[in-house]
Each structure stands twice: as structure tokens, then as C-alpha cells.
Amino acid sequence: MNFYEKLPNDMLMEFYKEVNKKIKKGENTKTMYYELGLIISVINRRGILIEKPSVCQQVASKQSTISA
């Protein structure tokens, strides 16, 4: 069981928002993406609906541009 699984939903969502904010600022992006993945996996297992993070949409659009 990881740290995020022990958090209540409201605190988990605050971590989600904070990690997204740090990624947008460019802070420790490799570590932050890893943490974001852990948080999203817990959110999904709990059945909480969220929008896809904007940072994920940016990566996806860059990849589609590169492969075109």
C-alpha cells in the first residue's frame, strides 16, 4: 500500500492539484510525473472522475506532432 492509498479523497485531490501545479512550473518533472501516475492510479481505483491533466494533453499533442 502506497502513501496515496492511505489519504482521504479530499487530501488526495489536493496532492493531485499540487503535483500538477509543480509540473506546469517545471519542477522535478520526472519525479512529479511518477507521483502523478501514482495519484491517478489511486483516484481511478476509487472511482473518482477527473479531467485528464493538462500536462498529459500537452505531451500527447507533442507526440502526435512528432509522429506526423
pLDDT in tens, 25-52: 888 888 899 999 999 999 999 999 998 7
Angle, helices 29-45/9-25, rounded to nearest 10 degrees: 150
Question: What pLDDT is stored for residue 26 in this prediction?
Answer: 87
Q: 481511478: which residue's cell?
A: 44
Average pLDDT over residues 13-33: 90
Question: What pLDDT is stored for residue 68 in this prediction?
Answer: 52
Torsion angles phi and psi, residue 47, rounded to 5: 80, 20
Question: What pLDDT is stored for residue 60 in this prediction?
Answer: 46
Question: What pLDDT is stored for residue 55 in this prediction?
Answer: 58
Question: What pLDDT is stored for residue 28 in this prediction?
Answer: 80
